[in-house]
Amino acid sequence: MALSVAVLMDPISAIKIAKDTTFAMLLEAQRRGHALFYMEQGDLAVRDGKAWARLAPLQVKEDPSGWFSLGEARWQELAGMDVVLMRKDPPVDSQFIYDTMVLSLAQRAGVTVVNDPQALRDCNEKMYALDFAQCMAPTLLSRDKGDLRRFVAEHGEAVLKPLDGMGGRGIFRVRAGDSNLNSMLETLLSGGLHSHQAEFVMAQKFIPQISAGDKRILIVDGEPVPYALARIPQGDEFRGNLAAGGRGEGVPLSDRDRWIVSQVAPELRQRGLLFVGLDVIGDYLTEINVTSPTCARELDKQFGLNIAGQLFDVIEHITLGNRAA
pLDDT on residue 242? 65
Looking at the chain, the whole-number percentage of residues with pLDDT higher than 90 is 82
The Cβ of residue 45 has, within 10 Å, a number of other Cβ atoms equal to: 13
pLDDT class of 137 with cuts at 50, 70, 90: very high
pLDDT on residue 228? 97
Task: List, as one string, the DSSP characters of 55-110.
Answer: EEEEEE-S-TT--EEE---EEEEGGG-SEEEEEPPSP--HHHHHHHHHHHHHHHTT
0.75 exceeded by pTM: yes
Tens of pLDDT, residues 11-54:
999 999 999 999 999 999 999 999 999 999 999 999 999 999 99
Q: Look at 152-166, 193-207, 214-228, 300-314 and tell me which has the smallest mean pLDDT.
A: 193-207
Q: Residue 165 above 90 pLDDT?
A: no
* Positions marked active-site: 126, 161, 216, 231, 239, 279, 287, 289
Buried residues in 18-32 as b, exposed as e (16+ CB within 10 A): ebbbbbbbbbbbbeb
Contact 276, 290 (CB under 8 A): yes
pLDDT on residue 170? 81
Residues 143, 132: Cα–Cα separation, whole Å: 21
pLDDT on residue 237? 66
Q: What is the mean pLDDT of the chain?
A: 93
Residue 279 β-bridge partners: 216, 287
